[in-house]
Amino acid sequence: MKESKHTGDGRIEISGWDQDNMYFSEIADLSLDPKGEKKIVLRSSLRLRSVVFARPVASAAPGKILPVAYLVVQVKPRDAKGRAEARLVQLCPGSHVSLGGNVASYKAEDSRGAQEPADGPAHWTEEEILR
C-alpha cells in the first residue's frame, strides 16, 4: 500500500463503529493526497458509508477539542500488516454528501436545499481540519 505524504502533524484519534457494529477507538495518521482527499490507515474494519469521528491527538487543550464527523467513502483491502486504508469526507451540519444518488441522511426532507458553502471542507487545509 503506497503511503501518502503527510503535511504537518496529522496524528488523530479516530472512533466509531466497525463492520461488526463494535465501538472502536484508535490512533491513526490523517494524510492528504495530492488531490486534497483525506485518508487514514486503520486496523479496525470500517464499513463503506459509515460515520467515524476524528480529533487531533496533540492538542494544546485536549479536553476542549470536539471530534469532527467524517463519512467513509472508500475502503481498500487490507495490506500484509492487516491494516486497511480508508478515504474520508468531512460531514458538516447542514451539508450532504452524494452517495451515488443517495445522501448521507436517512430523511429525504433533510436533503432539500442543502448546499455546501464554496469555502467548505473540500477547500480546507489540514491545519484548518485539525484546529
pLDDT for res 40: 94
Closest residue by Cα to residue 62 from 130, 109, 128: 130
pLDDT for res 2: 46
Residue 79 has pLDDT above 90, yes or no: yes
Band the pLDDT of 33: cuts 50, 70, 90: confident
Q: Lowest mean pLDDT: which of 21-30, 88-97, 113-122? A: 113-122
Q: Work out the average pLDDT over 12-17.
A: 94
Closest residue by Cα to residue 71 from 25, 38, 41: 38
Beta-strand relationship, 38-42 and 31-32: antiparallel
**What CATH class is the domain 11-130?**
mainly beta
Residue 43 has pLDDT above 70, yes or no: yes
Band the pLDDT of 92: cuts 50, 70, 90: confident
Distance CA 45, CA 43 (A): 6
